[in-house]
Chain A
Amino acid sequence: MAKDDHAPSTLPKYSSTFTPEVNAEIRRAAATGIYDIRGGGAKRRVPHFDDLVFLGASMSRYPLEGYRERCDTNVVLGTRFAKKPIELKIPVTIAGMSFGALSAQAKEALGRGASLAGTSTTTGDGGMTPEERGQSKTLVYQYLPSRYGMNPVDLRKADAIEIVVGQGAKPGGGGMLLGQKISDRVAEMRTLPKGIDQRSACRHPDWTGPDDLEIKILELREITGWEKPIYVKVGAARPYFDTTLAVKAGADVVVIDGMQGGTAATQDVFIEHVGIPTLACIREAVQALQDLGMHREVQLIVSGGIRSGADVAKALALGADAVSIGTAAMIALGDNDPKWEAEYQKLGTTAGAYDDWHEGQDPAGISTQDPELSKRLDPVEAGRRLNNYLKVMTLEAQTLARACGKNHVNHLEPEDLSALTMEAAAMARVPLAGTKWYPGMPGTSF
């Protein structure tokens, strides 16, 4: 039979299981024999703060006027044991990012922006640089399994110490920095040969478990004269247990990083398949603190996918004392800016999707150690952008708090929220909009 060119035909049909993305990864794996490594946090869609809305004031509650009627944003961290708790003007801090993962200029810019905004910044898996200490009014020093660059002089220069047990991008995994970024200076700070693919340990070298951690915390306090708040940071996996054990081990502050929290480099399979969303860990952690009688005595910082003042306000309403930003701060500095589109194209990607931070070729000059690329970032100008962004986040959070009639952002409560999806209702333990019910609500059946 002759072929009829005009007969209707089926369209090519892509599989929902074997998507073009999946197939490309299979071909890449088959060709190279190594797992995919990338930067950033989980990119898949997960229930998030967008699925919650505030119940503004109207007849039963009374709102506050913008600007005129005060709505405070300050927060004090480390009130449990430390002689010198940290006082911040805003409840948004900058998360740990290493010199090595980021350029010295980017680290300096983070310090400048955070200091202008009245908040803290945090070192990373690579020690403390003078640029960073110099530009950061309040600096949190991370204590990691690798202990790269760890020394008592820097420890005493810090304003707080963050013991990192895990991070949201990879709970149960260690750090990674590939050879392209192990420059002379990075190699020297980490006592490593230049150009190697560095893998950090996943457990601390001299303690395992909360019973040992209690002794490690004692040692750090003894070395620093009991002055500095001790944070314990965990990746979100079992937030109730992890929070309980961090408190029992003696933490002043607990930091929980959800699965959207970024990393400089790790296996994609780790980023997308280990850990739980940020939204799902806050109530669990707060519950643990409340059960111990420690809510607000031990402060809770939440991170992973915080982007706006709305996210900040919602995290605080669910019981956090502050939030931390990493990826958002990098974007504020200039990461993934469309103005570098031509160069992103050359790297086989596009602005907004670039996540090969481990390769050190960042056109924006942020996640790189290349001196020429690094020069593209002006630390003063980038610091100003970060400060602006932090200011907007704070104003947004205040706007929402005032709408709910609060004279301090930390007076927001879970009861000020309503959920738009069943998933968000269950995870945030906030009623589905228009109902008095959420899945898993005590005394109800699903």
Chain B
Amino acid sequence: MCGIVGLFLKDKSLEPRLGEMLTEMLITMSDRGPDSAGIAVYASGEAGQGKLTLQAADPGLFEGLDTELSEALGAPVSLRIKDTHAVITLPEAQMAEARAIVKRLRPDTRVMSAGEIIEIYKETGLPGDVAKRFDIPHLTGSHGIGHTRMATESAVTTLGAHPFSTGADQCLVHNGSLSNHNSLRRKLARQGVTVETENDTEVAAAYLTWKMQEGQSLGEALESGLDDLDGFYTFVVGTKDGFGVVRDPIACKPAVMAETDQYVAFGSEYRALVNLPGIEDARVWEPEPATVYFWKH
């Protein structure tokens, strides 16, 4: 049970303010999710370069990783440490290889996200504190998704926090509670898809990844999810150039959207949207049940 915020910028002049706007939105959702918070941002980098966001309980593990990884890859690598997370920039073509090497070099680090432009930061604690730790207000980008969590059945841990990465440059956040995630987790395991936590949302994320590996587009995967995922949910998903929303057919969990010439915004409550520029004149509406919405740059 949780709060969700999302922002998809149409107006490039707002991009330097993405982190600041998302942070404000996220903090208004603290009551809905006091246990942990997370954010995914999409910020374009250099052509041909990819980003790998890692998490480690002990940030000391990141020391020297850039040099070691660079040697192993035979390519230049840069590393930015932010509290318990590190963003590694490396040649995009060598992403899979880099992940395998990191797993060997630093087995106690976890991959939060991988792709051309995505970065994911998440931790336990109040949303305002989490945003501060990672200096979220200073992040720039074209779109981003944030989440505040009130854990229902799985543990309050960093890895149990949202967003969950669903594949290259993809992520998912969830408000609600799935009722068939255990059997779905077993079904995915038989397909070779591993789910690391007990979290129902990670199962949904893994399900979408699997459907896309099978050849579906994200939109098609979300449509399939309407048949295969039981329970109550509002999902917000991010891709390299887009941002999507879907609610379950009963649609009890709240969702408000706002659109202007400058942006498309999502909030679990209208409160999350009140500081956005021009919100007074925005088109504000609620997404329909069992309907996939998607915006693309």
Contact = CB atoms under 8 A, between A and B. Distances in A.
Report if A and B touch in the complex (beta carbons < 8 A). yes
A211 B153 contact: no
A67 B2 CA distance: 53
B150 interface: yes
B150 A211 contact: yes
B254 interface: yes
Residue among A209, A211, A215, A245 facing the most chain B CB atoms (10 A cut-off):
A211
Given A245-B1, A245-B152, A248-B150, A211 B252 contact: no
Contacts of B211: none
Contacts of B253: 208-209
A241 B152 contact: yes
Contacts of A203: 252
Interface string B203-240: 00000000000000000000000000000100000000
B252 A248 contact: no
Contacts of B34: 248
A211 B175 CA distance: 9
Contacts of B31: 211, 214-215
B178 to A, nearest CB: 13
Nearest to A203: B252
Contacts of B124: none
A83 interface: no
Interface string A262-300: 000000000000000000000000000000000000000
B232 A245 contact: no
A209 to B, nearest CB: 5
A157 interface: no
A171 to B, nearest CB: 14
Contacts of A238: 153
A212 B177 CA distance: 13
B188 to A, nearest CB: 23
Residue among B3, B176, B232, B254 facing the most chain A CB atoms (10 A cut-off): B254
Contacts of B2: 211
A214 B252 CA distance: 15
Interface in B1-54: 1-3, 31-34
Contacts of A209: 1, 176-177, 232, 252-253
A208 B32 CA distance: 12
Contacts of A212: 254
A13 B245 CA distance: 62
Contacts of A63: none
A210 B232 CA distance: 13
B151 to A, nearest CB: 8
Contact of B150 (A208, A210, A215): A210
Interface in A205-248: 208-212, 214-215, 238, 241, 244-245, 248
Contacts of B176: 209
A203 B253 CA distance: 13
B153 A208 contact: no
A244 B153 CA distance: 10
A208 B175 contact: no
B153 A241 contact: yes
A215 B269 CA distance: 11
Interface string B240-261: 0000000000001110000000
Interface of B: 1-3, 31-34, 150-153, 175-177, 232, 252-254, 268
Given A211-B3, A212-B254, A245-B1, 7 more contacts: A203-B252, A209-B176, A211-B32, A211-B150, A214-B31, A214-B32, A248-B34
